[in-house]
């Protein structure tokens, strides 16, 4: 109503940290324009804090001047007590600002990130000044990254306040609890932990020097897989204390100086208690000194420099093993991961069926010792240790309601449902994975990734993964053609659906690790990170940075889209020529739920014998001339060999290459 209309309004409830944000908002409400070099044609008068002197007289003069010149203006005020009767009667409106609460912060996250943090995260962001909330919640920024920035900003804001009491107890893990041998599903993390138990025992006995012991490790993995539980079990197996800290707990002490003091005290306490484990949770909250998207890199630099000083500074840390934990290993500053610091990055994966049985046994605590838990564990594919623990708690609650001992039926009732997909959907899933497996085998000599097997499942519940596993060849020469071959393999599932079923389903998109996301990332990285596109300029390496470039650069989007379209066309050609083999693989998947890549050779030989496959020369090798811009992209068709080198890097479809 007041847009571009001569008027004066009052805005009440403006604090010192919100002036800039409120100023921009007022200009937007009143329809401000930039007038040459004179600035905006809307006047904003700040009468908050120390600028409140002679307020009544000041307000009257502002209204008179605005009325004479036909201006648009806004007056920023602290409280309603500052609004004089004359100003209230003369102003066109008084806007009273409500405090930022969870609902407002949640709405902002839903608009920008499509999801919101939990109550604690919402309260954290709401506690910041309005000017900084705009810096925290930004388009193309994940919720986890936003909360990490919010934690660092909160500490920076407190730098102008009073430090909290320096006295603080060092939190330690309770003595009671599981040991490493009690935990299942730790994989390489468990192996490292067992090695450390032996090494620390030898160090304490004097058999080996401290220089022979690993100084630290970063444990990565999705939420709920047991990173914190691992640290406690490791300390109990070693028979040494565990000191638990995080960047957030140090930031809560006050300003930057207090954070660094708390960090120093934590390491000093650990040195005095050595040998011990120092556990640092949420390591990604430290930020990165080199992230171009971090507007507060200077603050992060000081925090990380302080951490590096503690990890390998003049004081040393003999006897202190630092275990860091993170959900996002790619967000950790590279300097933290150098030898002598957190020198290994180990991942806790979702537990396999054997591990899930072990986790169930652990949380059942001797109950149902003779029960066969394998069928239940099968239904829990994709579940974390924390989710399995919750399932057991639910089962115990069911039994308590009946005032009876827990039965296997209680566990089964708490497990995810076993609904199955329709025949049509299962047929599409089988064809899709068959496309990945066959085309992946055809292009393996170019992509450097050999398919191992495809797996499918009719059951519908969270965690079931229909996938094709690949292994990368160690030391493979990665070229532009290698990237294009991998993108073609990623799109081969969709191509097989179109060729065999004459339509596409939604299975290649949606989730973060989907085929389309991985193919798009590879095509983008070719253009902006690897020098394999139209320019040699290096513009990004982090996933979030790739997303930002793709969103903001229309020309880049066109180039990436063109690459995807061309690779999809190649996938269609290969699928069309190998349709009979793909249908055989799909039939194998439907019958047995899995199919090894070795079946492709058998199916190919059968086609040759019956004369139904296209002609091949030599040992099934033919070069084609499909176009890739101004270059040709060769497609090699060959039987698998058993002497191909490889490393066990397994993922869904062709795993995305680190960019």
Contact 659, 520 (CB under 8 A): no
Q: Would you state the pLDDT for residue 607?
A: 56
Find residue 467's DSSP bridge partners.
455
pLDDT in tens, 388-411: 989 999 999 999 999 999 999 999
63 versus 350: the higher-pLDDT residue is 350
The domain that holds 276 is classified in CATH as 3.40.50.300
Span 234-251, average pLDDT: 89
**pLDDT for residue 2:** 53
Average pLDDT over residues 467-472: 90
Averaged pLDDT, 579-602: 88
- The pTM score is 0.55
Whether residues 428 and 543 fall in one domain:
yes
Q: Tell me the pLDDT band of 267, cut-offs 50, 70 and 90.
A: very high
For residues 222 and 333, membership in a common domain is answered with yes
Same domain? For 237 and 255 the reply is yes
In a domain, 155, yes or no: no
Q: List Cβ<8 Å contacts ≥24 apart for 615-619.
A: none
CATH code where residue 443 lies: 1.20.58.760
**Which residue pairs from 360-369 have beta carbons closer than 8 angstroms and sit at least 24 positions apart in sequence?**
360/388, 360/392, 360/411, 361/184, 362/178, 362/182, 362/183, 362/184, 363/388, 363/389, 363/392, 363/393, 364/392, 367/405, 367/406, 368/406, 368/407, 368/408, 368/411
Claim to verify: residue 336 and residue 447 sit in the same structural domain = no
pLDDT class of 52 with cuts at 50, 70, 90: low
- The string over 125-153, giving b where at least 16 C-beta atoms fall within 10 Å of a residue's C-beta and e elsewhere, is bbebbbbbbebbbbebbbbbbbbbbbbbb
> ∠ at Cα 161 (158, 167), nearest 5°?
85
Tokens at residue 207, please? 């058999």
Lowest mean pLDDT of 30-34, 358-362, 542-546, name the range. Answer: 30-34
Specify if 185 maps to a domain: yes
Last residue of a domain, one of 347, 362, 393: 347
The C-alpha atoms of residue 638 and residue 604 are separated, in whole angstroms, by 10
Computed over every residue of the chain, the mean pLDDT equals 78
Looking at the structure, tell me whether residues 110 and 33 fall in a common domain.
no
Q: Kindly tell me if the per-residue pLDDT of 212 is higher than 80.
A: yes
pLDDT band at 512 (very low <50, low <70, confident <90, very high): low
More confident residue, 195 or 61: 195
Same domain, 543 and 490: yes
Q: Identify any residues that bridge with 468 across adjacent strands, giving them in sequence order.
A: 454
Q: Which of 96, 129, 160 is the last residue of a domain?
A: 96
Instruction: State whether 519 and 612 are in the same domain.
Output: yes
453 lies in the same domain as 580: yes
Q: What's the mean pLDDT in 4-19?
A: 74
Pair 397, 515 in one domain:
no
Maximum Cα–Cα distance across the chain: 101
CB atoms within 10 A of CB 423: 10
Q: Which residues of 51-72 are buried (b: 16+ CB within 10 A; e: fewer)?
A: eeeebeebbeebbeebeeeebb
State the pLDDT confidence band at 315, using cuts at 50, 70 and 90. confident
| 501 and 600 co-located in one domain | yes
Domain extent for 125: 103-140
* Mean pLDDT, range 85-92, rounded to an integer: 77
507 and 619 within one domain: yes
- pLDDT band at 253; cut points 50, 70, 90: low
CATH code, domain carrying 393: 1.10.8.60
Per the structure, the count of domains in the chain is 5
Backbone angles phi, psi at 208, to 5 degrees: -135, 155
Average pLDDT over residues 90-105: 81
DSSP three-state, residue 434 = helix
| Residues 117 and 52 reside in one and the same domain | no
pLDDT band at 290 (very low <50, low <70, confident <90, very high): low
């Amino acid at each position: 109503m007041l847009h571009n209309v001569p008027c004066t309004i009052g805005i009440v409830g403006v604090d010192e940290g919100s002036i800039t944000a409120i100023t921009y908002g007022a200009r937007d409400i009143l329809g401000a324009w930039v007038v040459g070099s004179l600035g905006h044609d809307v006047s904003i008068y700040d009468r908050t804090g120390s600028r409140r002197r002679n307020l009544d007289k000041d307000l009257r003069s502002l209204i008179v001047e605005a009325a004479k010149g036909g201006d648009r203006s806004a007056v920023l005020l602290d409280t309603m007590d500052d609004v004089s009767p004359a100003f209230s009667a003369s102003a066109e409106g008084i806007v009273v600002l409500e405090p930022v609460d969870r609902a407002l912060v949640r709405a902002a996250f839903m608009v920008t990130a499509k999801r919101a943090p939990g109550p604690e995260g919402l309260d954290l962001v709401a506690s910041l000044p309005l000017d900084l909330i705009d810096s925290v919640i930004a388009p193309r920024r994940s919720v986890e990254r936003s909360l990490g920035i919010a934690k660092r900003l909160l500490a920076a804001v407190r730098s102008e306040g009073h430090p909290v009491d320096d006295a603080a107890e060092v939190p330690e893990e309770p003595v009671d609890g599981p040991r490493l041998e009690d935990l299942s599903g730790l994989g390489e993390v468990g192996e490292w932990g067992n090695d450390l138990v032996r090494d620390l025992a030898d160090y304490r006995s004097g058999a080996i020097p401290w220089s022979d012991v690993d100084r630290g490790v970063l444990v990565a993995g999705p939420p709920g897989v047991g990173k914190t539980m691992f640290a406690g079990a490791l300390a109990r197996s070693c028979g040494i204390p565990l000191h638990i800290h995080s960047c957030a707990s140090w930031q809560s002490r006050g300003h930057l100086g207090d954070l660094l003091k708390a960090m120093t005290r934590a390491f000093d306490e650990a040195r005095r208690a050595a040998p011990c484990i120092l556990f640092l949770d949420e390591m990604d909250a430290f930020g990165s000194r080199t992230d171009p998207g971090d507007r507060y890199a200077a603050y992060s630099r000081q925090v990380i420099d302080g951490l590096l000083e503690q990890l390998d500074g003049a004081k040393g840390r003999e006897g202190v093993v630092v275990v860091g934990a993170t959900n996002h290993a790619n967000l950790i500053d590279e300097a933290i991961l150098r030898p002598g610091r957190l020198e290994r990055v180990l991942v806790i994966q979702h537990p396999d069926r054997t591990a899930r049985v072990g986790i169930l046994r652990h949380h059942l605590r001797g109950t149902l010792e003779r029960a066969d838990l394998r069928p239940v564990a099968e239904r829990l594919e994709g579940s974390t240790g924390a989710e399995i623990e919750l399932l057991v708690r639910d089962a115990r609650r069911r039994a308590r309601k009946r005032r009876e001992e827990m039965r296997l039926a209680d566990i089964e009732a708490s497990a995810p449902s076993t609904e199955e997909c329709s025949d049509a959907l299962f047929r599409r899933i089988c064809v899709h994975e068959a496309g990945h497996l066959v085309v992946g085998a055809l292009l393996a000599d170019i992509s450097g990734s050999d398919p191992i097997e495809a797996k499918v499942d009719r059951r519908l519940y969270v965690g079931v993964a229909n996938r094709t596993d690949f292994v990368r060849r160690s030391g493979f020469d990665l070229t532009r053609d290698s990237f294009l071959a991998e993108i073609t393999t990623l799109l081969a599932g969709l191509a097989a659906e179109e060729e065999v079923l004459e339509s596409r389903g939604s299975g290649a998109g949606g989730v973060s690790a989907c085929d389309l996301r991985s193919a798009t990332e590879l095509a983008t990285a070719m253009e902006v990170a690897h020098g394999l596109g139209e320019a040699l300029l290096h513009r990004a390496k982090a996933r979030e940075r790739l997303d930002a470039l793709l969103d903001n650069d229309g020309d880049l989007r066109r180039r990436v889209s063109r690459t995807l379209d061309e690779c999809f066309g190649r996938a269609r050609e290969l699928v069309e020529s190998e349709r009979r083999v793909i249908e055989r693989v799909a039939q194998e998947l439907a019958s047995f739920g899995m199919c090894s890549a070795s079946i492709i050779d058998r199916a190919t030989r059968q086609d040759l014998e019956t004369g139904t496959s296209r002609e091949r020369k030599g040992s099934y090798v033919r070069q084609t001339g499909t176009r890739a811009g101004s270059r040709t992209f060769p497609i090699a068709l060959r039987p698998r060999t058993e002497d191909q080198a490889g490393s066990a890097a397994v993922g869904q479809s062709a795993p995305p290459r680190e960019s």
